[in-house]
């Protein structure tokens, strides 16, 4: 696996077959993590040697291979395993190495919140297509994941696409005062809107894990958002049902008409295309996503199904390469500069079902 394409194919094949790879015990998981980490180290060294020789293109590809291998290793380790922190540190170092070799400048920027004027860090990677006015995406990591870790994953996806990326961490966004996270993300959108090569009318948001909930609130409140990868309000709906059940000690759920109205309330406030990432480690189940899509047939809701790869003692492992690629292809498609079709009611509608293997 000497180039990026073969490295990512090999990693995807490994994750697809992980259920048959002896990962049912912690020892087997650590052994495989060590092998992927060793592969990452090999690519890392190859990138450093190429950089020293002035072969920058070869160095960049090698570092991208290393980032992919390190991400596989990180996911194979238990959250409490000290090796996980070491791999995360290697990912951050790889991001720094890669940034120094880019023709376009990858910046560590400070975003000033319009809520309380506090400043929070972010990574900004401009689109590599100089002179073009390109779309952009605000990417929010899942809980307990740094912005650098998410950036290490999206770097191979963003390069070669005419799209700018702004990456922030879940912890930074969620640690805002109650209700203020959407204002901080609006400040992120403000930042992108004034960048020379960003089209302010084509800025999307992508939230992972509980950040999908934050992305929903942001897209519902800020009408400038052009596309959203989020939970469509389903997490808060599930919490409301649980709260009602606890307070009333009732096992039954509200009647179907009330459930339809409540379930679809938040997503109907969103004026942009929506992608629900269902299954896997996400906060949305496939059945919930399909119910919401059926409830809101007149809105633009797509579904990306993440199949379970393997469930064992340390948790669930996903084929993140397949899902990440599908998510960015969806964003690229929805943020393309074109007029979408209109439905009979005048609303834009192009609902479709996406699956990770499509």
Q: Is the same domain home to 28 and 46?
A: yes
Strand 310-312 with 225-230, pairing:
unpaired
Question: 232 and 336 in one domain?
Answer: yes
47: how many CB neighbours lie within 10 A of its CB? 26
Q: What is the pLDDT of residues 58-69, one digit of tens each?
A: 999 999 999 999
Per-chain mean pLDDT for the chain: 82
> What pLDDT, on the 0 to 100 scale, is given for residue 26?
58
Per-residue pLDDT for 307 more than 80?
A: no
Q: Note whether 176 and 28 are same-domain residues.
A: no
Over the stretch 178-202, which tens digit does the pLDDT of each residue have?
778 888 999 999 999 999 899 999 9
Q: What predicted TM-score, i.e. pTM, was given to this entire model?
A: 0.86
Kindly report, residue by residue over 235-254, the tens digit of the pLDDT.
877 666 655 454 555 555 55
Residue ending a domain, choose from 50, 76, 100: 100
Q: What is the pLDDT of residues 88-143, one digit of tens each?
A: 999 999 998 888 776 667 899 999 987 778 889 999 999 877 667 999 999 999 99
CA distance 352 to 301: 7
Domain boundary among 46, 74, 100: 100
Tally the domains of the chain: 2
239 and 187 assigned to the same domain: yes
Q: Could you tell me if 43 and 79 lie in one domain?
A: yes
Residue partners of 147: CB distance under 8 A and separation at least 6:
121, 122, 123, 141, 167, 168, 169, 172
Domain at 61, CATH number: 1.20.1440
Structure tokens at 335: 């943020």
**25 and 83 in one domain?**
yes
Q: Are 234 and 288 members of one domain? A: yes
225 by DSSP, 3-state: which?
strand
Residues 33, 146 within the same domain: no
Q: Which domain holds residue 183?
A: 107-355
Tell which of 77, 100, 123 closes a domain. Answer: 100
**Residue tagged 């940034």 (tokens):** 99
Instruction: Tell me, yes or no, whether 163 and 205 share the same domain.
Output: yes
Cα distance between residue 83 and residue 14, in whole Å:
20
Same domain, 256 and 208: yes
Same domain for 190 and 227, yes or no, is: yes
Report the CATH number that the domain containing residue 164 is assigned in CATH: 3.40.50.1820
């Amino acid at each position: 696996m000497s180039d990026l394409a073969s490295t990512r194919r090999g990693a995807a094949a490994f994750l697809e077959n992980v259920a048959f790879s002896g990962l049912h015990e912690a020892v087997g998981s650590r052994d495989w993590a060590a092998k992927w980490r060793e592969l990452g180290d090999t690519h890392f060294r190859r990138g450093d040697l190429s950089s020293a020789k002035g072969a920058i293109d070869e160095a960049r590809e090698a570092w991208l291979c290393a980032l992919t291998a390190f991400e596989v290793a990180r996911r194979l380790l238990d959250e409490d395993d000290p090796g996980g922190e070491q791999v995360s540190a290697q990912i951050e170092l790889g991001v720094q190495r890669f940034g120094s070799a880019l023709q376009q400048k990858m910046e560590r920027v400070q975003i000033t919140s319009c809520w309380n004027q506090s400043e929070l860090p972010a990574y900004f990677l401009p689109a590599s297509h100089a002179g073009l006015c390109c779309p952009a995406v605000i990417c929010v990591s899942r809980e307990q994941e740094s912005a650098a870790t998410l950036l290490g994953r999206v770097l191979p996806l963003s390069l070669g696409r005419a799209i700018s990326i702004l990456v922030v961490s879940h912890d930074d966004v969620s640690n805002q005062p109650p209700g203020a996270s959407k204002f901080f993300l609006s400040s992120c959108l403000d930042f992108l809107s004034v960048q020379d090569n960003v089209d302010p009318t084509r800025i999307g948001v992508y939230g992972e894990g509980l950040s999908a909930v934050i992305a929903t609130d942001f897209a519902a409140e800020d009408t400038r958002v052009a596309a959203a990868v989020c939970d469509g309000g389903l997490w808060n709906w599930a919490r409301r049902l649980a709260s009602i059940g606890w307070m009333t000690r009732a096992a039954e759920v509200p009647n179907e008409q009330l459930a339809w109205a409540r379930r679809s309330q938040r997503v109907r406030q969103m004026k942009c295309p929506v992608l629900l990432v269902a299954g896997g480690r996400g906060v949305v189940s496939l059945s919930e996503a399909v119910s919401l899509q059926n409830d809101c047939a007149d809105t633009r809701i797509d579904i990306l199904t993440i199949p379970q790869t393997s469930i064992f003692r340390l948790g669930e492992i996903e084929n993140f390469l397949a899902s990440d690629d599908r998510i960015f292809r969806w964003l690229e498609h929805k943020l393309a500069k074109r007029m979408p079709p209109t439905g009979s009611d005048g609303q834009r509608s192009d609902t479709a079902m996406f699956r990770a293997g499509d």
